Structure 1
Amino acid sequence: MIKSCAATLPGVKFSKLLQKCNIENLTALYWAIINNGREALLEFVRFIPKFSHACSSDLRLACMAVNDNDSFMLLHLGDINAKDTSLRGILGCPQDDIQVHEVDWAGHNENKFFVHFVFRMFQKRLRIAKKLEAEFVAQGRIWVLRFDMKQTGEWSIEHALSENSSPVRTTTELEIQANKPPSGSDALKPPRFHTNKSFMLVPEGTSHDDYRKVGDDDARYSITWTLKDWPMQENTPYVDRHGTLIAGLTITIRCYAR
């Protein structure tokens, strides 16, 4: 049916038709993700050179609904920084590798997942754009990890919930991989950042009224850690000789304040 329609309609018209919200006010691509129709999804995508903003938003919601990080990455739905996407194209830099490993903690008052990041040309991209951010899907939400330079000139790491995600109480630990030191030198300890207590995260884009409705004194839009100046250092041990930075993020979702 898809190939028949594609043969009948001009390419631009068919691409627009596929991205129309004409099935229960949602796109056909949305329902392909919801119904685990990977084959149909990939066939649809062949005829869409670039997603419209509305279609992209639709697909992000679908990936959240079925907790599908694989489709989220496959469709490049986490490329939220247009400047970085363009920069990667100019540099010939592949998409960042982001893998989510969820753990079933049935019977406990908390659950946990781990995210493995591989940022290619990390230092070069960060120096040029002054910001690097990545999104991923886990536990039915879209999360963001962001490296940024503040107005004070300090580098920082921030993690948050993206728009339309549900609020959640978490504790977080981030570790950046340290490369092997030269022979005879002391072993390097990987930089670790963590929260000392749990915080209620509310999604970015939430209004102040919605923020107050959470009803939690610990509610916040993001958790931020300050970095030293190593992103600017030429021989930093936290970026390998290929310019790659590897990091691991562990997030524990809690059902109570602690």
Structure 2
Amino acid sequence: MIVEKRIALPDDDTPTDAPPAHKERPQSWRWFSFGLRSRVAKQVRVTVLGILRDLVKQPDISSSASAILESCADACRMNNLSISTLLQEPSVEGHTPLYWAIIKRAPGSPVEPEDPSSPDLLESFLSIATPFTETTISDIRLACLNNADHALYQRLRRSPAFSPLSGAEEVLLGGVRPVDEINVLNVEEDDCAFVVDFRIPLFQKRLRVSKQLNLEFIAKDRLWSLKFLIAAAENSNIRPIAETGTWLVTLALLEHSAPTAVDSNLIIKDATIPASPSPSSPSVLSRQTKGKPTITLRMKTGTTHLAPDHRDNVISTSFKDSLMAESLQYNASPYVAADGSLTARLEARLGRPDGECIIC
């Protein structure tokens, strides 16, 4: 009787001279095969981590990053490894390769890649690093803060991987994230002062549905969070005590930020009045519509400095503190533009409150 030998498939580790298929291999063979694959995977892991380290150390090879990373990703797939996981390991001096790619960006580098077909090192990393862990997001925040790169931070925050929409927001917005415009300005006459201009699309609708709008920015070497909230059970752990349904605004410091005292005003003007009438429209100039009074909501620290990582360490004010601010809750509010957007300005100064003037 002739017994045919089994033919090894390309992805089959069975030797061509193995016993017939109907006979089981010895247990020791299975352990040998598993051990061999495990050793290869460990070697691939070490090699890929070394390549990632070289990429962030040597700017001259970053132009080839996409091709190099593609080869690394292929090697990881063949050995049941995740290139995303390796990119998020703190394998380079206690930080992720993503951290160093941000830190080593040249000052003034464009936030968006100039040539999408030739991404820089950070773009190449971001394209294969998701989904991010909370630890990775923290490392990215720290890198943007250390690099004082507010523009890049805003761009990353618009990424679903960095700041995903809630379920309610997904339904409301159809998965398309509105772009909250946040511009930070320093005050030349005062090194301790800064100004932040906000434009928040669909302000009322988004706030009513999700119960909170979180705006984050970098100013004065700190990460800040300005939140609009409607007091509800689902956000009771991130806001001061308030009656259900109350509209609030809070200011807080985020992780990696040094504690500080701060005095600030949130200023919202009548959206129906043009900011600067065009000289070509004499009828507008002559009308001189007075408009509604400007809303000013003051937020300042007391005897304790504002500090990060403390749930209750926020400064806040209720819209009930201002008759005009309460009107922001209503449809057709004069403070909300016709397209549903809210324009606001935060004027702030680090240090203990001193008098009523924040930025004169």
Q: TM-score, normalised by structure 1?
A: 0.81
* Counterpart check, 1:6 vs 2:70: yes
Tell me which protein shows more strand as a share of its residues. 1
CA spacing shift, 1:186–1:104, aligned 2, 3 Å: closer
Question: CA-to-partner distance for each residue in 1:140-167, whole Å, 9 max, x for gaps?
Answer: 1110111112341321111111133110
Q: CA deviation at 1:136?
A: 0.7
Q: Which residue does 1:213 correspond to in 2?
A: none
Percentage of pairs with the same residue: 27
2:150 is aligned, of 69, 76, 96, to: 69
2:194–2:349 Cα contact (<8 Å) kept: yes
Q: Which has the larger radius of gyration?
A: 2
Q: Which residue does 1:191 correspond to in 2?
A: 295
CA distance in 2, matches of 1:144, 1:121: 19
Correspondence 1:1-258 to 2 at 5 A? 1-3=64-66, 4-10=68-74, 13-36=82-105, 39-76=120-157, 82-83=165-166, 86=170, 89-90=173-174, 92-105=176-189, 111-150=192-231, 151-152=242-243, 153-180=245-272, 186-195=290-299, 200-206=304-310, 221-228=313-320, 229-254=326-351, 258=354
Give the counterpart letter for 2:313 in structure 1: Y
- Higher mean alpha-carbon deviation, 62-71 vs 83-92, is at 83-92
Q: CA deviation at 1:74?
A: 1.4
2:201–2:342 Cα contact (<8 Å) kept: yes
CA distance in 2, matches of 1:194, 1:101: 19
1:127–1:232 Cα contact (<8 Å) kept: no
CA spacing shift, 1:55–1:93, aligned 2, 3 Å: closer
Q: CA deviation at 1:27?
A: 0.7
Question: CA-to-partner distance for each residue in 1:61-120, whole Å, 9 max, x for gaps?
Answer: 111222211111111179657527646752634221111112345xx6x51111111111
**Runs of 5+ consecutive residues of structure 1 not aligned to the other structure:** 208-219
1:180–1:187 Cα contact (<8 Å) kept: yes
| 1:23 match: secondary structure | coil
- Higher mean alpha-carbon deviation, 226-235 vs 11-20, is at 11-20
Give the counterpart letter for 2:205 in structure 1: K
Q: CA deviation at 1:185?
A: 6.5
Give the counterpart letter for 2:295 in structure 1: P
2:299–2:317 Cα contact (<8 Å) kept: no
Q: CA deviation at 1:246?
A: 0.6
RMSD of Structure 2 on Structure 1 (CA): 3.0
